[in-house]
Amino acid sequence: MATGTDGHRIVNVNGLDWTGTDGDGGGWKRIAEEAGGTRLGCTYEEISPGGQPAQYHYHTTNEEALFVMGGTGTLRTPAGETGIESGDYVSFPVGESGCHAVENTSSEPLKCLFFSTMDEPDIVVYPDSGKLHVVGGPASGLPRDGLTFDATTPFDIDDSVSG
């Protein structure tokens, strides 16, 4: 990591350790966090052949975007499935219209930058499984890693209130 003459931290993705791996040769690096970013996230991902880094989902608070740096794959949105390739940029707005999943359907790694606003709390909706993932941080009192709920299980709100 270097520091520019104006004090900004400069990171090079090639010099960063993997934040996590998928067990099949793919992984991710949290670039924005390493550079000191707090309101705009950027993660570099190498998606292994056959890999899908996240289930089909959308956010209720955060907008996301994808830039394909190398390789090819398939993007699923409410409009259906379409191929993606190096140089493609896709925006995923907040809400159901931004629902998406990326899959590497090729035999080579799919290299992408994923961008996201970092507003908290956020609810991630997984329509295929009927699950909700609530993500928070220090200000919201929710764990940053989040909590996952089954959105298909009804409950009486009075049952959750004590005292």
The answer, yes or no, to whether residue 129 has pLDDT greater than 60, is yes
Percent of the chain whose pLDDT exceeds 70:
81
Q: What is the pLDDT of residues 5-57, one digit of tens each?
A: 677 899 999 999 999 888 888 899 999 989 998 899 999 999 999 999 999 99
Average pLDDT, the chain: 87
Q: What is the pLDDT of residues 74-116, one digit of tens each?
A: 999 999 999 999 999 999 999 999 999 999 999 999 999 999 9
Write down the pTM of the prediction: 0.83
Q: How far apart are CA 125 and CA 31, in angstroms?
A: 25
How would residue 134 be classed by pLDDT, with cut points 50, 70 and 90?
A: confident
DSSP string, 92-140: E-SSGGG-BEEE--SSS-EEEEEEEE--SSEEEEETTTTEEEEE--TTT
Domains of the chain: 2-119 (2.60.120.10), 122-154 (no CATH)
Instruction: Output the six-digit token pair for 3.
Output: 């520091």
